[in-house]
Structure 1
């Protein structure tokens, strides 16, 4: 490259001056759009649609309500709502009232949210009935339902508060090295400068539709929510479960013709492995962590444009942008408007010759500083000696970087021990501080490893006070994970623990993190010798298992479940096998064909011999009274396996899967018919009984109707068990006005069961919880899809039809009291509102009473390790008791 051109490119790097209305607040732009294009669609969430006028009017009314509740200009308001239109309306309303908001994801640990409320001195907390009195804080609790009820008495005029660009817009908490999160204070003008720059490049127009998938506790949600709303575009809001489900995201992008999607590399990888097989006119925004070459190579043929965005929370979402057109040319680009990037050494000498130094960021994106952390603020926000503007600051990012010859910036990773995992910025010291509070830990060091490309993992290296054997160590690891989940978000809990005699140190006495050993991810304990694949089909199965399970040298006699196989990886395996062989097997095939040898043999059989019966033998042998467990909304009976295996050796367990999974049988949409179908298959194998029935979630309602029919036929039902099922009565016969009144709370309740994703064991459960939840979430989009009648392909291709039929059956089913006792297995951890926490609504329908058994975990993790073991013990005790009656 010509030296003159190089010099010119570098000298103009920070010439980013651009005029913008620095005195205006964010909501002024939304109000302006509402005035200019009042009928344009602003926001869509499932089937709920808001025009710019209706969205702005709702925010104005809520702002007036908040002001009446005592919220004043300069105050701070916490917001803890599930992802919904009310969440967006509340964010705008808080700003319109002149206050700054603290975004609180209700899925985060309760203690962490309470710390944020206390540290920010939040005057009010906007939440919903679902979380009423859940958080202990000095903030005045304002329920969104109460505010909505009062909307008719308020005008749609915007409150005259006089908010300017200098006022705070939000305080966002990030991971802190002392063990406590720190609040970053962002002004309106910081946010406006960034949004207007991104509006220009990468660009957005009123014709665009942006899909928002990021939790509001992650700063990049500011782009998701506000960029479309200030631009006259459409904001399509995804709920939490969809945002974590690659297949659901791909389906939603296609069904809604999304044109812009911002996500972390982890989310993009999740979408790519979930059936994204065609080019889409999609503008890809990738941020939150480094953009890998292999990901670019995979994305380029499948989208319209790829943009790499970089920046810390402290400089307002992103500070640089770069359009990436080749995997061989990945940088973080150049600064956004009114932003300067410097590469400095310890003496603050600015390197423009390609020398590596620390990245400093100055300009209009730099935050006010950390709330209540003056010492830390002075350390990280230093005087901008290059700007010539008195009092201006630049932020020390802690990232290494250099300026390339063409003036673009290359980011080379962290200087300190702050890392990015799945898009979340994490201070490793915060995890280490909390680990030291756990039992038997003498010393702890946590690092982020990416031994498998695209799969970053947190690994904790621990020196213990007392050495334990292998069996006790597994229990010890589970205890540590449980303890950390009580105080940290799931993404900050280590996936793996390595016991060390000593932590390695460098010659100068610092911890030698590079010397920490790679965990043994592929350790396989087998009783017999290793036997290599003998046939082409066995090799295919073994190769797929090894790739998707991250293991090596799988023997043909190794058992899928004993290798740690779980539902999500089982779905991936069956989908890959279908793609490679053209043969589609039921997921439940793994129960009877759980080794490489057996599954390969099953693949070689005539496809016509494959059965899709509803009754699935999970553990068919044993002399005790069999237990029949009905599937939940995810249709998957595979997650019952661990529960069954932890019950007595002579306890038979069967699962019941939905009719229609094969795409041939018609799904049933009447509860009585669903129950009758399952009963017919049970009675065909066990005509005399007695019967022990159980159902998980939706399956509990089906089991209830099965018990009703069996009792009417003179059969003995010894046990009717509900696995965390709520007895929500159908509203089909309610008056229209009553239905309308309850619609908002009904949506919140339904979403509630899908949003509690902080599992008691992140490693074992995060892989499958999206699969369990996604069916209901994507049903509406599938229903509206013009291509849904086309030929179905891929594993679980017919689940949408089954989900739709099941939900229709549930909507029309009327619960009536039965002369029976109900055994209610209730999850201990409740992070969402219920009208009846004690009996989950079953008391009016069980004439002989409801016996409550508390089991570990929350709704989506009761079958996950280590919860499955305790659940199995409690369940076995209940079964043994009722069988003797």
Structure 2
């Protein structure tokens, strides 16, 4: 079943008549509350300290307040700020503003004064309801109304509801959320969105008359709407906490027990602290959790203590919670379930197309709960509140959440963290949420947050009680599932995480804590000799590490193939010693590399066959590199394949600057085969080649077959096979070139539209290279004074390719890995020229990236997984 089918068959397309799903949908919040007050006038609705409020008292007081507010000029369309301490009067005022037809702006008095004043100004609030305690504190144009005056004046007003014409499209509240620009932005939520959410919550997770709901969340956090309003339309009871109790988990635990709380909603951070606060025994509690990712460990702990656990998801912009899932102990993957009624969730790519189930994309939310957009932010609204192409309702919008997710379990949504938690370190794009999720599964870790710091990743860890610290083991386990650049190099142990007023982990405060890095896993051993100091300094410059110790691992410090090339070139330039890049596989520390440099040139290994990852019990795969000759490029692939999968690479002859490169492609293949056979691997080879190396691997397969050897796999990593043009002469050559120009022009035009940046960079580099070649040929400029060993090898290999006559082969089927971003024109973009040569057929595998980036982060992991699947399949056939 496709994602779109799964989402829409479970949730019918939204229509303008929401009564199809909920008979109460088109009735306003104030009507629903008034109805319950008439049904249960003497039932207790609210408890706060020693205050006990009935439905009749609450409703009558709110009606009186609403009529009084009208005399203050608060009517439909007005925006009213509310800055009160938590109390029954706070709820009276909230309901009164709604009953008056106005829009309330919730303001937590404990928030910074400048933030509250900004919100009042940005919303252009006409009035501010506050108390004597805060009178005159907040500077704004809003007319100040004191709650004490309302209490004194309201008894003279009628207790019947004010007659106000309420529309379901009216904005019921404006709630400010953090903004990426540093200034908060106001989200406008409608009556329809709020009522749809509340009625959906009545259905699941459900609320009954006997329930008691703990209200502990500040009104400046949208989930407080569930705690304050859902009981009012269900005939249930609210237990309202003051600020001190809401911040003290021991007091919360005592309140839950003494008051007989049956429903409680909190963030994962608050639930963790509750579990540490003398929580003994099981409670008849329905636990609602959301706001941050729910780990499997936390879910298991809560399920031991509660009757049921519900995982909720939804940004403020789509009205509190948009999806939910009842969590069970046997759930392998923790998801946020499916959308509530009249809400829709889509996982889309950058072109707003649904991605296949299991594929990561961005979460978009549509339906009745989508707000009216941000107040006074038209440009941001165009970016985030966009037309819903999957809806039949005219003008329907969907919200671009910025959250990553995928469809699993036949229609459930798994959240994978924020897109804006994506960071770039040393050129690698990293999803911090993926690192946190993987590290959080490790034994002994209760909670973890990963942050970038000084071009590295630092993991802040809260440990399980009594667990032993084992940074090295954590890193080792992580490397089995994550590439090296995603493995934190530093760990900091904390007793608990700092929290924001909303109960979420305060990442900014965590980063600013400046914890001492002595607790890091890396033990610094300083260089001892001048040579070690020089090498350590070079590593530090390119790896952006202040102090590199002689025991530090190149890859653990974030070393890549590109960085390795830079380091080795500088070592050769400054120290006069040329080393193969492949030496970093074994000489991966400053100490080992310095020892390697002390060997004479004849003792340094320039073997053709390089053990990229020689360990493992599976049959190895052998990969031939292209003209870049950087065998370290295969390190990304090897570390993302199965731990039990050996990987070998071939590096060309002549890299030492002494040996002569191969003259023909056939000789190259023969020498590579000789190096392979010398190691006495089992028959039944898996060969692969990247770019130019694919043709070499193809010739190796032909020669191995001629020797009676069996080739079980032959993979081409974006290799183009056509080279007949090298043998054309005279008129046919020019005719072919002329015929290519128009389709080539169309291709480049199309590429410029879809990938302008990458295409321009490629074309610019292409023309610069061609101009330099032409200028040297015409004598306009001099050739390079010095020619590197790599340049000499490239010249030889290009000449060898031009002389190579490809012959069809039936050695085995060809697995063709084809990139999805093509920056240069090909005559055969479908099979890359291989069809005439693959007598046993071609199987095409599309991979993400262009010719250079598909083997690099972040594409390398998906590529390696696909490659591993094919290796296992081909070698078992």
Could you state the TM-score of these two structures normalised by the residue count of structure 1? 0.49
For the pair shown, the structure with the greater C-alpha radius of gyration is 2
Could you state the TM-score of these two structures normalised by the residue count of structure 2? 0.49
Higher relative contact order (CA 8 A, sep 6+): 1
